[in-house]
A and B are shown apart, each in its own frame.
Chain A
């Protein structure tokens, strides 16, 4: 586990206040959403569908920003922009790096569950 702070804990504690008892369910929802978005991105990239990739990256970016995962937001933005311009070459690396980053975020979120 990295020492790097991947999530903004202020954002998370605000969410905790708002969500109260539903907070654990929110984290679970986010983790499920994220798995879905990541596999959608993989599929889109494999089939060379730039538009689908852009949309998935955009949606993933939105939920990451709501949960306070700033580094994930930046990486999603990079993929979204490249896909929007249909520059798909080299995005495999970016996607792998995004997945790696996400599993670390998942680890850090465990404490909130």
Chain B
């Protein structure tokens, strides 16, 4: 504010009833370049201080009317928080009198006869002290103001954050998690939601840094996650989208270590992608622990060209569990500063008797290790259980958003051309249209399964001419997908045409789904014979069970399904 405060003219008040001493002191001070005010007794000194607010006060101890001690007390009380150095002018020598000066609020003494060099040094030093104290008060007030502001903002931010990240209503049967209350502002975030196909999608993220900056990145992450999972996007697409978004908004050096998991409860498979988080543990039925280490860079580091969203695929039997954590557990410290570490973590697994209790045992172990009085508030732990789906899931957000446009009677034809087969998945696009129909929203899972099965059949068996019997033995599975990859890359001709036609009636509506392909078709009878088979043919049977009607037309290259819904569903 005042760039040359130290060089500023210093105003000094001199109060002494002895004219000789006053005259000498005034002369010295003026000669040293200060502005001088004078008073001949204590009352004048207090009055002068009140009106002129000098920087430093020099007070004689013994003065008529009001002595130096009382004047000092009054001046200090007028000054309040401001530091006004008071120096007693004295030829007092006994300890008691000197102590009395200090107790009255004096900051130092100046003894008679006056020594100009000492006087100048003291004036300078006390003025510096006063300037520093004034700066400190200003900064203290600023900090207090900023802090109040910050707390307000943080409260609001926390509310917004909670609203955004708590978008998913996940079934507790397959997912258990612990996020300590302060973890949000430590940069930890967990989002979970169910895909239209009924898979559970979970992402645990740990942003670098702490506090608000770390929490801010969680918001685009959460909105992207929920938006895309609901629409049926594949895990790799979601990861790439989040990565791109974080890369573009986060400053360099701020990124998000994350692990994403998709649990398929029908096929007992798990897709997992780990970018920078500690290894996830798969707890097998026989007690073995398999680690799935990070093989990728965290989200928000690479641009999307270099980013690899290729999750690993593992199988998990019913009753097996998968654990995800941020480094809060590994780095939790005890009173001596030692970290919990991986060995203790593995020991906890080894000691476990009943797998369902492991989650609580892990948390308890860490808390006991850290002990009381220590900060243990950035623990994040997730447990995923492979188990059959026991009840029909409800698509998240199904009960909300009924106020959107009421799409009733319509139809669309969507044709996928050769160059798109390898790179484009039409499901999210089509599903997002279907979700615009209020009555269909609760059926998105079933519709996803129907369309996805029909599309896959049309593409793989129709257009690509793949024989599903290849998949009959387990080794054939891989060969099948190898062929699929080769043929989708090579294909130059063909199409899959999906026609959706929707109409409503008083009690609901019906959706006609027709999928036609450019393939040679098949004889339905052959198909039926194989339906008892392990893998192949299962698709149409499943679709048939989900639909109200299923019809194979033409040479077998057109399949028409009808799906009806009722308003009281």
Contacts and interface: CB of A to CB of B under 8 A. Distances in A.
A58 B92 CA distance: 8
Given A18-B31, A65-B112, A58 B19 contact: no
Contact of B20 (A11, A14, A30): A30
A58 B62 contact: yes
A68 B24 CA distance: 12
Given A58-B91, A59-B62, A15 B19 contact: no
Interface residues of A, number: 22
Given A11-B113, A26-B23, A65-B112, A59 B28 contact: no
A15 B17 contact: no
Given A65-B112, A65-B113, A66-B113, A19 B24 contact: yes
B91 A26 contact: no
B18 interface: yes
Nearest to B92: A58
Contacts, number: 57
B21 interface: yes
Contact of B19 (A18, A29, A55, A61): A29
A66 B20 contact: yes
B112 A59 contact: no
A30 B112 CA distance: 15
Contacts of B116: 14, 18
A62 B21 contact: yes
A33 interface: yes
Contact of B24 (A26, A32, A59): A26
- Grouping DSSP codes into helix (H, G, I), strand (E, B) and loop, the B interface class, with mixed when no group exceeds half, is mixed
Interface string A60-93: 0111011110000000000000000000000000
B158 to A, nearest CB: 66
B27 A59 contact: no
Best-buried of A30, A55, A62 by chain B (most CB within 10 Å)? A62
B91 A65 contact: yes
Contacts of A18: 24, 27-28, 31, 116
A29 B20 contact: yes
Contact of A66 (B17, B31, B62, B112): B112
A107 interface: no
Contacts of A26: 20, 23-24, 27
A19 B91 contact: no
Contacts of A62: 18, 21, 60, 89-91, 112
Contacts of B23: 19, 22, 25-26, 29
B114 interface: yes
A59 B113 contact: no
B60 to A, nearest CB: 8
Interface in B82-121: 89-92, 112-114, 116
Interface of B: 17-21, 23-24, 27-28, 31, 60, 62, 89-92, 112-114, 116
Interface of A: 11, 14-15, 18-19, 22, 25-26, 29-30, 32-33, 55, 58-59, 61-63, 65-68
